[in-house]
Structure 1
């Protein structure tokens, strides 16, 4: 347990090398005696570690930092923007690419001299391309090094010769695209649902370097040939005339279907590409396969047929072994099992390396040809496991109070690990060969000034004897006599899980609530990952049954510990966690005095017909079609019990949600409003989807959630009047000068309203269809984020470059690593193809029903 007194105690400097066993008690610097609790304003200013790229020699690291606009400083409302930092030393880095550029997909060239990324210069470029800059250049020396004339590049990987990239790009424009665009300009904007799909292709694209690019400053270095120098005509003598760029034109590799993530073996012989029949999100979840192609001629070597979901995958450096994370069958809720197979052998055996174990593999990376590193989650804790190339375990390193999320080799037997902790979101750590740890980044150093509630895991027994684990956050300063008001924070999926690390976000009350005197409990109920496939499947064909019994069965043991006041129990959650909240607020209403439901399910019958994942819903959740048993589905729906609801319920939903339709929230709101006198409020967010992207709507959500719990949960008064329709924004929108207090208040109100009209609540930046799909995947995977990231039925596609990666709970920004999707959407809209009518809807303000 990490209590607040421990956190205030003296600790070693962050630069000290620590053994992993001793690391976690000293993760934070000494806390000042004036430490204060965490606030919603703190959450809004958190900066999150994004993707990370490691140079081939393991000495240089590039990483992204993702930050929201600072509304208190008058910055324009919007989503996360990405800046890039480069370093060779722990806790020391310089900004290399500013946040204003908002780049993505970091990677190093094979020789480690060039840092590349995807970007579109809005003033110069029609499409998104690959830019590069010399490592060590801090003066903005980036240049375009690869592009296509007819479409954007969405994902890429360096080929080992350093002369070309393997890219996933949009399809080329045709004459019909221009015609469709002209029709739209004339007002013919009709869209055909699910027929006008996006398409893409895989190409080998030459790296083009202009004169003087990446030349070394030293004269002797400048004379050396760069691996990125333009090639000369055959027979041309060195020094004779000007070098002519004779790069080959882009070469397409023919693969049928929609192409996703790609990997290239270090020797350049093979590439692995995930492929689905179409770009439909349901197919991307449930019907992906991995295609192995020969890079030299583009020929298909093998298709790795798997049933169900696919997660991360990687080719051994020699191209002989493919390792991948997948479901064991089509009904496996999550991709959590590690497989190995011979990459080039058609029909080769798929070896389930950890099949049947009570754990979840979340990320993998080869370290040479003989070792595969895997991040493994065993319930609420994590470890790093090393396998040999045949799947035998070589070594394990426990994470302690660190929660590992991703791994990459650093050379010399060392590994870089992304990890979070109860007192900070994800940071970068270096695990050396002798198992000592260096903390490499400190993204939010001001967190050391805050006071955190003690956090620990709790295991209890459900009514049928099943052991259930969860994470408990105690109130700052300790639990009062008689117990604390307690918030149950329910993760989404349900195929995701809570780890005993960072659990606070704009939808997750966590340490904010702890600072206000609440306890927060995050249960890993049946259906969660991290405890084996059987545990994940145990919720199927039982909506609202064992899975939610597991939640309420925690009340008694927490009361017996003296933590929970049974008269003041509240609940919140998003997506499937929103379903749990709705179920608790209706069917189990006597147990909960307040609920905050977001993007949740209320009617299993209508949900199937309005979601973008009907096949996934059938295969890994319901295990029956609606027409097989209409009544059963209705009886497993919160609306069926809305007439008995006594739990004051706040409902929040993005108006552009394609995963769980906003109509689900509208149905429950209307039923409770008409059939009872229980306090209920529905708030919808224009321009937002399955979770909020923009700074204003995230902050607004957090304020409303906390205010609802203050009014109903902390007081225990189910009949208390509704709080005001608008939350107090004065802490983030500072007051204007005025000649009197009353005038100041009036001006403040007007100023706030004007800012809101100009910000999130008038015309928020509407997410593209591809963004919303990616955000949905991240939300369900991480269970909070809304998220980021990162995560779910809806495991996000692995990063486009295997030298970069993402991970974590709520520290995975919703629109991180989606720049390729944004650009892909721009390709479609500019060509006149249908994308989604909601993108172009005029949004006029946050709506309180």
Structure 2
């Protein structure tokens, strides 16, 4: 049996962003390494045959960050984004579907990247968004270091632009002091609908947005509707009468997501599907049919349904089980061909199978799950000789009677008699979830720890994805309360079933999982080791310093400026109770984390040192909220294992 090393984990190549060609016979996708070795990311476009007539082949060199491949409507070309001319600045390129040299459609001299793009239905135009290029005065000030930043001035608003392929002429359709965040073409190619944020700042996502539409011939934009918070997956119905999108049920940041519809001529958006007992993740219109394809999370799994938007009825297209094996989808596409069949492509994984591209077909509207799904890529052969831990659903009941779910991974061969040392890994979000996917990533230590001899318990406490609005809403102003009790109830269940040794318990996680780990050690001494990865220690400081302050205030329950009587954030902050900690804590954090700033880790480290708690504090230079550099990812994996071994096995 081959040995799993940290290097094998970080050198995995992950397929992403699958796109089916119009004829349904090919799938384009991105293959990207888990960790980057240099300053900038790299990725390549690959193409696979849906019928496996030809092996998947690399289509671009992968020496730059080639991404976002999109087929032309006639299937003869692929447009994509790449920073091959200037690393870190992505421009729009065009390449023939049978290969050749890629042609830059936007200037490689541009200093601003293209953010997003979409082909017109007829294929003669491409709409895209990008911010304005710096003026001569801007460049002069930067060169002379006379470049003070004033809040509210010189926002890098994304503009909606139109490229005419025949002449390469570019016009700006939507400008002004507003940020274009998403857009979609009218099925006849006559108009574009788009979402307007007040500013490019992430803070704007928590405030009112506007959907507008504009004729490509020009003219004034028409307001379709206002919505109190961010939306995504904007798509136009095939008859041109309705716009669909995803947004939160409660119209708050921490909430389950649902499908909404709004008349193109204007009106109030209507909630038409999902969000109450399950969660919508993405919605797409299908060509030549009124149905929508919706990716839905429910329980531990995800499925793709065909939704009739008028009746609100859904027909399963692709479920979350392959026989007895649960499966998960990281990326997906559905396309209807002229013969009435739906071609489906997904990036799929399971508890014992890493991520690969799969494809299959089914008649549109058939009242059964799709059949004939087959693997069409082979990118994870380096893991083939490794015997991974046995992954299984873990169900338990909360103290208030709520039925909960999660994942349990058992070591291969049960290296010692049960009960075993157990590590509890808490997911991020809190609107995240542990599901049927393959749990092997620099920030997902499930299999990595199982192969080191640990039982790994991965609970899904309240606040997460897959159980609807009431479940998600439980985290608003209540983090560390019912969700923490859910985690503890899962631990109790594992002990009661003879799975876990109560004297050898660890806890860990990243982001919200890092918060829960920090919170847990302030509330109990049951855990003998903890890993706090990019975790929150002070919700008040998060409101003041995070790049999503409204979201953090929703979770923490109040802001520091709410007055001396409104201090819920203090009651929910690990920092408030740091004097209680006796558990050894490993703190890991990215230096340039804007979501959970480094001060959260620095402060908690300082508090634990003052209490004489065994603590190790590691900062990763240059890193944001998710650790991206290969060497740092290896360090995390090795350091996490050593920490648990030291305190749970030593």
Give 3-state SS (helix, strand or coil) of 1:666's partner: helix
Give 3-state SS (helix, strand or coil) of 1:432's partner: strand
Give 3-state SS (helix, strand or coil) of 2:412's partner: coil
Q: Corresponding residue for 2:558? A: 624
Instruction: Find the structure with the greater CA-based Rg.
Output: 1
Give 3-state SS (helix, strand or coil) of 2:59's partner: strand
Would you say the 8 A contact 1:314–1:322 is kept in 2? yes
Match of 1:426 among 355, 358, 361: 355
Match of 1:203 among 157, 161, 164: 161
Structure ranking higher in strand proportion: 2
Q: Output the CA distance in 1 between the equivalents of 2:610 and 2:172.
A: 62
Match of 2:24 among 44, 49, 58: 58
Q: What is the correspondence of 1:752-767 to structure 2 with a 5 Å cutoff?
A: none
Structure 2 residue 568 is matched with structure 1 residue 639: no
Would you say the 8 A contact 2:296–2:303 is kept in 1? yes
Would you say the 8 A contact 1:460–1:554 is kept in 2? yes
Match of 1:362 among 270, 274, 281: 281
Give 3-state SS (helix, strand or coil) of 2:56's partner: strand
Q: Deviations over 1:552-578 (max 9, x none)?
A: 111121112221111111011111111
Would you say the 8 A contact 1:425–1:502 is kept in 2? yes
Would you say the 8 A contact 1:166–1:202 is kept in 2? yes
TM norm structure 1: 0.70
Give 3-state SS (helix, strand or coil) of 1:81's partner: coil
Q: Corresponding residue for 2:343? A: 414
Would you say the 8 A contact 1:384–1:398 is kept in 2? yes
Q: What is the correspondence of 1:345-494 to structure 2 with a 5 Å cutoff?
A: 345-356=265-276, 358-368=277-287, 369-396=289-316, 397-400=318-321, 401-410=326-335, 411=337, 412-433=341-362, 435-436=370-371, 437-478=373-414, 480-494=416-430
Q: Corresponding residue for 1:801? A: none
Q: Corresponding residue for 1:675? A: 611
Would you say the 8 A contact 1:271–1:293 is kept in 2? yes
Structure 2 residue 428 is matched with structure 1 residue 509: no
Structure 2 residue 105 is matched with structure 1 residue 145: yes
Q: Which moved more, 1:260-269 or 1:486-495?
A: 260-269
Give 3-state SS (helix, strand or coil) of 2:383's partner: helix
Q: Corresponding residue for 1:292? A: 213
Match of 1:112 among 51, 66, 75: 75
Q: Which moved more, 1:261-270 or 1:381-390?
A: 261-270
Q: Which moved more, 1:248-257 or 1:476-485?
A: 248-257
Shift of 1:262: 2.1
Residues 429 and 566 of structure 1, relative CA distance in 2, 3 Å threshold: same
Q: Corresponding residue for 1:48? A: 14
Q: Deviations over 1:275-318 (max 9, x none)?
A: 21001112135544433333332542333322334232322234
Match of 1:133 among 95, 118, 124: 95
Would you say the 8 A contact 1:497–1:530 is kept in 2? yes
Give 3-state SS (helix, strand or coil) of 2:579's partner: helix
Q: Corresponding residue for 1:756? A: none
Q: Output the CA distance in 1 between the equivalents of 2:355 and 2:418.
A: 35
Q: Output the CA distance in 2 between the equivalents of 1:81 and 1:121.
A: 10
Q: Output the CA distance in 2 between the equivalents of 1:710 and 1:255.
A: 57
Give 3-state SS (helix, strand or coil) of 1:582's partner: helix
Shift of 1:345: 2.0
Shift of 1:253: 3.0
Shift of 1:663: 1.1
Q: Deviations over 1:800-826 (max 9, x none)?
A: xxxxxxxxxxxxxxxxxxxxxxxxxxx
Q: Output the CA distance in 1 between the equivalents of 2:406 and 2:415.
A: 18
Q: Output the CA distance in 2 between the equivalents of 1:419 and 1:496.
A: 18
Q: Output the CA distance in 2 between the equivalents of 1:68 and 1:376.
A: 26
Q: Deviations over 1:221-248 (max 9, x none)?
A: xxxxxxxxx5xxxxxxxxxxxxxx5x65
Q: Output the CA distance in 2 between the equivalents of 1:671 and 1:99.
A: 45
Would you say the 8 A contact 1:422–1:502 is kept in 2? yes
Shift of 1:656: 0.9
Q: Corresponding residue for 2:367? A: none
Q: Output the CA distance in 1 between the equivalents of 2:230 and 2:131.
A: 24
Q: Output the CA distance in 2 between the equivalents of 1:632 and 1:284.
A: 23
Q: What is the correspondence of 1:217-236 to structure 2 with a 5 Å cutoff?
A: 230=166
Q: Corresponding residue for 2:248? A: 327
Q: Output the CA distance in 1 between the equivalents of 2:268 and 2:359.
A: 36
Give 3-state SS (helix, strand or coil) of 1:92's partner: coil
Higher relative contact order (CA 8 A, sep 6+): 1
Give 3-state SS (helix, strand or coil) of 1:402's partner: strand
Match of 2:541 among 606, 624, 627: 606
Q: Output the CA distance in 1 between the equivalents of 2:620 and 2:88.
A: 32
Q: Output the CA distance in 2 between the equivalents of 1:323 and 1:158.
A: 19
Shift of 1:691: 2.0
Q: Corresponding residue for 2:199? A: 278
Q: Deviations over 1:384-431 (max 9, x none)?
A: 211124143241142201113443223322322232211234322223
Would you say the 8 A contact 1:381–1:499 is kept in 2? yes
Shift of 1:68: 5.0
Give 3-state SS (helix, strand or coil) of 2:203's partner: helix
Would you say the 8 A contact 2:157–2:179 is kept in 1? yes
Q: Corresponding residue for 1:524? A: 460
Q: Output the CA distance in 2 between the equivalents of 1:644 and 1:625.
A: 24
Q: What is the aligned residue count?
A: 628
Shift of 1:126: 12
Structure 2 residue 57 is matched with structure 1 residue 94: yes
Q: Output the CA distance in 1 between the equivalents of 2:256 and 2:461.
A: 18
Q: Output the CA distance in 1 between the equivalents of 2:488 and 2:273.
A: 35
Q: Output the CA distance in 2 between the equivalents of 1:69 and 1:501.
A: 19
Would you say the 8 A contact 1:673–1:680 is kept in 2? yes
Q: Output the CA distance in 1 between the equivalents of 2:275 and 2:158.
A: 34
Q: Output the CA distance in 2 between the equivalents of 1:335 and 1:355.
A: 5
Q: Output the CA distance in 2 between the equivalents of 1:331 and 1:529.
A: 15
Would you say the 8 A contact 1:375–1:406 is kept in 2? no
Would you say the 8 A contact 1:602–1:665 is kept in 2? yes
Would you say the 8 A contact 2:410–2:456 is kept in 1? yes
Structure 2: gaps spanning 5 or more residues? 364-369
Residues 105 and 559 of structure 1, relative CA distance in 2, 3 Å threshold: same
Shift of 1:664: 1.1
Q: Corresponding residue for 2:621? A: 686
Give 3-state SS (helix, strand or coil) of 1:442's partner: coil
Q: Output the CA distance in 1 between the equivalents of 2:566 and 2:334.
A: 52
Q: Deviations over 1:605-642 (max 9, x none)?
A: 32322212221222x32343333446543232212222
Would you say the 8 A contact 1:132–1:142 is kept in 2? yes
Q: What is the correspondence of 1:515-594 to structure 2 with a 5 Å cutoff?
A: 515-588=451-524, 590-594=525-529
Would you say the 8 A contact 2:191–2:216 is kept in 1? yes
Residues 112 and 285 of structure 1, relative CA distance in 2, 3 Å threshold: farther
Q: Output the CA distance in 2 between the equivalents of 1:417 and 1:122.
A: 31
Q: Deviations over 1:351-383 (max 9, x none)?
A: 332242x11111222223322111111111122
